[in-house]
Amino acid sequence: MKVDILGKPYRVVEATDGQMPDSFGTASCKDQIITLKKSMAAGQKADTMLHEVIHIISNELALELPEDTIRRLAVGLHSAGVKVAMKK
Ligand SMILES: [Zn+2]
């Protein structure tokens, strides 16, 4: 799966619980990769995807959003039905 963010293509990959024990997801602007924990339920995965996209936007646009603000924005956007448009 892929997603374009600010004109850059990011690969979306999944990790096992063993590979990612401490978080639901990670985002790397340097490598243009978003990693999601495979075992998450669909709703949690969609929320986490929004979270990681907001991290990337915050980094790329130098917004310097704190972690707690990113978490709250993702929850709020997810609750309003916002979904990240992913491509095969
Ligand atoms: Zn985060």
What are the pLDDT digits (tens) for 21-54? Answer: 999 999 999 999 999 999 999 999 999 999 999 9
Q: What is the pLDDT of residues 51-83, one digit of tens each?
A: 999 999 999 999 999 999 999 999 999 999 999
pLDDT at position 65, please? 98
Number of structural domains found in the chain: 1
Q: What is the pTM of this model?
A: 0.95
The encoded tokens of residue 36 equal 């999601």
Q: Which of 50, 53, 45 is nearest to 82 (CA)?
A: 50
In terms of phi and psi (left: phi > 0; alpha: psi -120 to 50; beta: otherwise), the region of 7 is left
Does residue 38 lie within any of the structural domains?
yes
Q: Where are the beta strands (DSSP E) in 1-88?
A: 2-5, 8-15, 25-28, 33-37
Distance of CA 21 from the midpoint of ligand 1 (Å): 15
| pLDDT at residue number 11 | 98
Q: Ligand 1 mean position to 37 CA, how many Å?
A: 13
Domain that holds residue 75: 2-79
**CA of residue 88 to ligand 1 center, whole Å:** 24
Cα 36 to averaged position of ligand 1 atoms, centre (Å): 12
Does residue 40 lie in a domain region?
yes
CA 58 vs CA 4, 8, 15, 25: distances in Å: 15, 14, 23, 16
